[in-house]
Structure 1
Amino acid sequence: MIAKTKIGANFLGAICYGAGLRLSGKEIEGKSELLLTHNLVSDDPKGMALEMQREAEFSRCKKPVWHTSLSWKPGEEPSKEQMIEAANRYCEKMGASPENHQIVIFQHHDRPHKHIHVYMNRLPIGGGNALATSHNYARNVRVCKEISQELGFDRVENLQKGRLRHVAEDRKEAQKIVNLAIRETLKQKCRTLEDLRRRLRESGIECKFTFDAARLKYSSYHYKGVHVKGQDVGFTAKNLEILLSNNQKKVKFYEQKITV
């Protein structure tokens, strides 16, 4: 399990995203499912956001919105009850007790892996200090590791920002350049291996892809005569396929959004 956290000021925009609503208010069918709320009366996104905003409006806290996405390893199939339990434990461990904070949990169905979105009001009910946000990255890593061990989940490494493996000194320059080039290409919504090959070639990088039954099995790259493996630059064959597939889904989603 892995967590990514954002802190914001607008409950309405955050909760509407969690509920799978477009800016127009129209629901994106099948994208989102409400799993649980704590300390909220409303069951519609706008009502929940208003309640949370009212609880925070007398505070000096300028960014009361805590939004965390919790994701499971591709192929892992936690039940709704397990995802809710993980979310509750996450909130508790991060300092937002479900008894004292307003919390909303949605499951999204727009990715191949199971994931949920947890929205917390940083301000406790009835007033008090806002939930601390310092060292969020390190805290997320620690808390996810604890919950994964407690509930028997696999820990998911960050697919885009995996550590570079140790390589010989004469390969380090090529390793870093290939890593950065792949990152940049993926940010530009590259969707296929052929598109990746073409774009990297423009940067002077040659790709070699090996397949097994139409699935990518191995990848390697050449830069200025230096050979580096896909896993050495932070992108295994499996991770690369997942990231390209995610880009395909994102582009398709935006294209559908534009035509609506």
Structure 2
Amino acid sequence: MIGKGKSISHTSASMAYGWNQEKSAIVVLKEYLAGNTPEELTREFHIIQDMNENCKKNTLSFVLSPTIEDGKKLKKKNLGDIAKKFLARMNLNNRQAVAFVHKDKAHTHIHLYVNRIDFKGKAYPDGFIGKRSIEAARQVALEMNLKTAQEIQVEKLNSLKQIRREIHNLSEHVLRKNSPKTLDDYIKKMKLRGIDVIPSINKSNKLQGFRFKYKNISLKGSEIHRSMSGGKITNAIAGNGHILQNGSKTTLISNKVVELGANFIANTKQQSNQQITNKGLSI
């Protein structure tokens, strides 16, 4: 479960968002509040907030997000328990609070709004509230046997590691076995293996590198492997054919003339010269 928190001044708008029926919102927790509409809840908050005129950001807003798998298993009572335990971990007991659950997407999540002003007119300290929210959510997740943010992060990293390995292996296979002679040829052959190669072209119409989209994951070539930078891939393809147009600094990608950066040109010219030398030696 991931926790986020901050102090806000727009109490009314937040209440309206939390109550949004288009998001299939349901109330799972209500502390020291009697209202049944966003307007009524806001008025009740304001009655207490008027006791402290110095505090402008007088409402605390939290979002608690279990994993998709955990969210499917959690009932209304469980979601209310998460909000209540989170309040206890944040030392926010005995304050006005309301928690809404949104299920408009596959990812069930809780919007929790708490009056920053207590019944004595004292404002809750919001220093490092984001970090404290993360830790409180982690503790609640452990207590309720839910996945923590750290576990989610490890899973994502492991998944990305596998994705990067697969993209790199498929690219190496295409470059070595299929011997593409142009960038277009390389892009088409990668497409046949389920990988979209997207050229990164800046406003000056210069090719900067490539992004690779595979299994709904998009990564820059340099994020996948050091051999998959734009210059390295162009260099490898130049070993199979002449990708520069008539010795110029341009090449064709999807019938569009694109200028190559200095690092691309140095690599491709060096590779082309080596190719010519090798053919001469062979003859």
Whether the TM-score (by the shorter chain) exceeds 0.5 is yes
State how many pairs are aligned: 181
Give the alignment's Cα RMSD to 1 decimal: 3.1
Distance in 1, Cα, partners of 2:131 & 2:6: 14
Counterpart position of 2:6: 6
Q: What SS does the corresponding residue of 2:149 show, helix, strand or coil?
A: coil
One of 97, 101, 118 as aligned partner of 1:103: 97
1:208 partner letter: F
Alignment partner, residue 88 of structure 2: 92
More off after superposition, 2-11 vs 63-72: 2-11
Question: Following TM superposition, by how much is the alpha carbon of 1:38 offset from its aligned partner in structure 2, in angstroms?
Answer: 0.7
What is the CA distance between 1:218 and its match in structure 2?
6.8
Task: Pick the structure with more helix per residue.
Answer: 2
**CA separation in 2, counterparts of 1:228 and 1:69?**
38
Equivalent residue for 1:147, pick from 140, 143, 148: 140
Indicate the structure (1 or 2) with the bigger Cα radius of gyration. 2
- Matched to 2:88, the amino acid is E
Deviation by residue 1:127-177 (Cα, 9 ceiling, x = unmatched): 142111111122122211111111000013587xx99xxxxxxxxxxxxxx
Per-residue displacement from partner, 1:10-56 (whole Å, max 9, x unpaired)? 32111111111xxxxxxx43431222211011111100110101111
Q: Secondary structure at 2:134's aligned position in 1?
A: helix
Structure 1 CA distance, aligned partners of 2:227 and 2:25? 44
Aligned counterparts of 2:102 and 2:128: Cα–Cα separation in 1: 27
Aligned to 1:206: 210
CA 1:51/1:197 → structure 2, altered by over 3 Å: closer, same or farther?
A: farther
Task: Tell me which moved more, 138-147 or 48-57.
Answer: 138-147
Q: Which residue of 1 aligns with 2:67?
A: 73
How far did residue 67 of structure 1 move? 0.7
Alpha-carbon distance change, 222 to 16 in structure 1, aligned in 2, over 3 angstroms: same
Matched, 1:222 2:221: yes
User: Normalized against structure 2, the TM-score is what?
Assistant: 0.56
Letter in structure 1 aligned against 2:209: I
Amino acid at match of 2:136: V
1:65-84 residue CA offsets vs partner (Å, 9 max, x unmatched): 10101001122222221111
Deviations 1:102-150 (A, max 9, x none): 001101123321101000001112x142111111122122211111111
SS of 1:34's partner is strand
Q: TM-score, normalization: structure 1? A: 0.61
SS of structure 1 residue aligned to 2:221: strand
Amino acid at match of 1:136: I
Q: How many percent of aligned residue pairs carry the same amino acid?
A: 21
Q: Distance in 1 between matches of 2:218 and 2:22?
A: 37
Taking the aligned partners of 1:94 and 1:52, their CA distance within structure 2 comes to 19
List gaps (5 residues or longer) in structure 1: 21-27, 164-193, 211-215, 230-260
Segments of structure 2 that go 5 or more residues without pairing to the other structure are: 158-193, 203-207, 230-283
Show the 5 A alignment for 1:232-247.
none
Distance in 1 separating the partners of 2:65 and 2:42: 23
Describe how 1:109-148 pairs up with structure 2 within 5 A.
109-125=103-119, 127-148=120-141
Which structure 2 residues correspond to residues 151-190 of structure 1 after superposition, within 5 A? 151-156=144-149
